[in-house]
Amino acid sequence: MLMAQGRPARLHYLANSFRVLAPGDHVVCAVSGERIALEELRYWSVRHQQPYASAALATRAAHAG
């Protein structure tokens, strides 16, 4: 996959995967603001369309609303 190095990707999050809408090499965690390489992205919310850097951050976001 061709990725724009140094640019954030725009993704559509699905139940078990995501679709790249705009190329990039990372996304930004919705809770911590940490950059997450697409190859390392494991946690996201389909409902809120947000990525998370860890399971703990995804859980925190889920409990926050």
Domain ranges of the chain: 10-64
CB-CB contact of 23 with 4 (8 Å): yes
Over range 1-21, report the average pLDDT. Answer: 89
Count of residues in the chain: 65
The H or E element spanning position 55 is: helix 55-64
CA distance 65 to 11: 21
**Tokens for 49?**
């369309």
**Tokens for 40?**
């390392």
Q: Which residues pair with 12 in a beta bridge?
A: 19
Supply the pLDDT for residue 3.
Answer: 56
Q: Please report which confidence band the pLDDT of residue 2 belongs to, taking 50, 70 and 90 as the band edges.
A: low
**1 vs 28 pLDDT, higher one:** 28
- Is the pTM higher than 0.85? The answer reads yes
* DSSP structural state of residue 38: G
